[in-house]
Amino acid sequence: MDMTDHTGDPAMDVVVAGVRFRSPIGLAAIGGGSHFGKPDADPELEEDVQLQFLLGSIESGSSCVYINVSYLSEATLRKLAGGSVPDFRGEAPRIWADRFMRAVTTVPPYGVEGLYSSVSPGPSVPELEREGALLASQKRLVQALKEKRPEGVPIIGGLIGCGGAPDAYVDAARECEAMGLDLVEVNFHCPLQAGLRGGADNPQTKVFLPFSHGGLMTDHPDLVEAIVREVVRAVEVPVGVKFSAEVGFPRIVDMVRRVKAAGAQYIHVGGAAVGIAPPDIYNRGRPSWPFMDGSPFCLVSGSWMRRVCYRDVAAVAKFVPGLDIVASGGLVTPEHCIEAMMLGATLTQMCTGVMEQGRGLLRRSNAFLQKFLADQGYGGARELVGLGLPYIKYSEDVDMMPGRVVVELDQDRCTRCGRCLNNLCVAICSEHGTVMVDQDKCTGCGACTLACRPEALRLVRRAS
């Protein structure tokens, strides 16, 4: 099939759950919606800020935008009130706040690894008046986006939910469909809830407090499956599911099989995980967070999440074929997006990379991909999807060429730093100040190459 566009360049568009995206690179969900719960919120200002942010990301090349949708109908609110859901109404009002902090390793060659994100939520008990005001604001935002977005930039509704009630997700999904959103994505991803009181206990006791539980919900696969099934039954718009990195392997395989059986048309994996910021070792273990008197379990994201993203993409593509996959988490260069696609992702999304490098990263990544496709002889971006899957094998089926691979040292590159000598390898030695490799002792494991900054050490085929 000819996938080139009308200019003769390789086609950049991809299709997820029957919906066309102008490219496989987009901006991941970054908040949005929840801040309207602040007691002092100015809805018009909030809407304008969010609209300008989303339009800016589209102008920079994002192939999609997210609107996090949280809505409970009067019937669902009555059902929640009539159950055994704990009520926070007796607590003093709280003001919404959030805080970000860079995660840095100062020893070369490392650097900024990502970020920590913490949140202190506002009022926790949903109220009809606030739900209505939030929905009205979301509708105005969606209408403005629909008027201004170009072709091939779908709007995705992230379903936030409330407690363990499937009705809450259904309410939000129906409103997404009524607003004309292109896809809805059930959020079993957000890690922020792990830092809230009861976050470690509620999933086990099944006492779900009246707020979004995000990734904590995946401790109950039956409930996850039931929620997805109810949402799929309620709407015609394609339904996807976003899973937390905390699901783990091989659990991700069972979870995806369940939601596929429930009718999900695509899976979003990667994203963020639960973490905790390190203490300040020079201040007697006090929090390293600026202007915070405590250190909660929090969200972590950034380049260190890439291994989880790749793992989950490959696991879903290999063991649960037939689903489109969206990948996010740790993708901070255009090459990372291509790698995720070759493992099975159709669409990739960047978040922390954009926060670190600015929205220009989206533009640069799309330009890189367009040139890459042409230079490498591809007809279009869709051809990249799953190219690496045939090479994913069970360990016992991989030929690691034992006895046929050794390390070779390039003396012209060697700086005599001695790092490889002060390591674990017994095949490397020094003779009169010159680093040498005894290939008879070398097993070809390649561990010594990790220590070599100038890349003077490399694996080669053993000479016959």
Q: Identify the burial level of 275 via C-beta atoms within 10 angstroms of its C-beta, where 0-12 means exposed, 13-18 middle and 19 or more buried.
A: buried
Question: What angle, 0 to 180 degrees and rounded to 10, lies between the N-to-C axes of helices 334-342 and 360-375?
Answer: 60
**Structural tokens at position 192:** 């922020």
Q: Where are the domains of the chain?
A: 14-391, 399-461
Percent of the chain with pLDDT over 90: 67
Q: What is the pLDDT of residues 103-136, one digit of tens each?
A: 988 887 888 899 999 988 765 567 777 788 888 8
SS3 333: coil
Confidence (pLDDT) at 213: 86
Q: CA-based diameter of the chain, in Å?
A: 83
The whole-model pTM stands at 0.92
Residue type, position 353, single letter: G
The DSSP bridge pattern shows strands 19-21 and 14-16 to be antiparallel
The whole-number pLDDT of residue 3 equals: 42
Instruction: Enumerate the β-bridge partners of residue 406.
Output: 460
Determine the Cα–Cα distance for residues 141 and 39; give it in Å rounded to an integer. 20
In 10 A of CB 6, how many CB atoms?
6
Question: Please, what is the angle between helix 221-234 and helix 166-179, to 10°?
Answer: 30
Query: What tokens does 326 get?
Result: 């969206």
The domain made up of 14-391 is a member of CATH 3.20.20.70:
yes
Cα–Cα separations (whole angstroms), residue 415 to 113, 290, 422 = 27, 40, 14
Encode the chain (464 residues) as per-residue pLDDT tens digits.
334 455 678 999 999 999 999 999 999 987 544 444 455 566 677 788 889 999 999 999 999 999 988 888 888 888 877 654 554 444 555 667 788 999 988 887 888 899 999 988 765 567 777 788 888 888 999 999 999 999 999 999 999 888 788 999 999 999 999 999 999 999 999 998 889 888 888 777 777 777 788 899 999 999 999 999 999 999 999 999 999 999 999 999 999 999 999 999 999 998 899 999 999 999 999 999 999 999 999 999 999 999 999 999 999 999 999 999 999 999 999 999 999 999 999 999 999 999 999 999 999 999 999 999 999 999 999 999 999 999 999 999 999 998 899 999 999 999 999 899 988 888 999 988 899 999 999 999 999 999 898 899 999 999 87
Q: Which two tokens mark 423? A: 């390591």
Task: Please list, residue by residue across 421-441, b when 16 or more beta carbons sit within 10 angstroms of its beta carbon and e when fewer do.
Answer: eeeebebbeeeeeebebeeee
Q: Which of 84, 68, 41 is nearest to 212 (CA)?
A: 68
φ/ψ region of 255 (left if φ > 0, alpha if ψ in -120 to 50, else beta) reads alpha
Options 3.30.530.20, 3.30.70.20, 3.10.450.350, 3.40.50.720; which CATH number does 399-461 get?
3.30.70.20
Count of CB atoms within 10 A of residue 19's CB?
19
- What number of CA atoms fall less than 13 Å from residue 108's CA on the CB side? 4
Question: What's the one-letter identity of residue 252?
Answer: I
Phi-psi region of 116 (alpha: psi -120 to 50; beta: other; left: phi over 0): beta
Q: Which amino acid is at 93?
A: P
Residue type present at position 88: F
Q: How many CB atoms lie within 10 A of CB 119?
A: 19
